[in-house]
Amino acid sequence: MELGMPYIKPLGDKLYEIRADVNRNAFRVVYFLYTGRRFILLHGFQKKAQKTPTKELARARTYLEDFLERNTESTDLEQED
C-alpha cells in the first residue's frame, strides 16, 4: 500500500508529516522512517497557518537528533559487551 499526498507530505531532512483534517481543524504529526519499516513519530500539533510553522519543524528536528543520539549510544554500548 502506498500513501502520498494529500495524507503524507515530505518536509526535507528525512522528515515527513502525516496530515489529518477533522471538523475544519488541521492536525499534523511529524515522523521519520527508521531502519526498515519502523516509523518514529516525533511531534504532533494543530496547524493554524497555511505553512508549517518553523517552530514546530525545529521542535521535530530537535526530537529527531535526540532520538538518534540516544539510539546510537545504546547500540554502541550493546556492541562493546
Q: For residue 1, what pLDDT is reported?
A: 55
Q: CA torsion, points 40, 44, 48, 52, in degrees to nearest 10?
A: -30
| Chain segment 67-76, per-residue pLDDT in tens | 999 887 554 4
Q: Report residue 81's pLDDT band, with 50, 70 and 90 as the boundaries.
A: very low
Q: For residue 16, what pLDDT is reported?
A: 93
Grid coordinates given for 77: 554500548
- 61: Cβ–Cβ under 8 A, 6 or more apart, which residues? 13, 15
pTM: 0.77
- 41 residue type, one letter: L
Place of cell 525545529: 58
**From CA 74, how far away is CA 68, in angstroms rounded?**
10
| Chain segment 31-49, per-residue pLDDT in tens | 999 877 789 999 999 988 8
Write down how long the chain is. Answer: 81
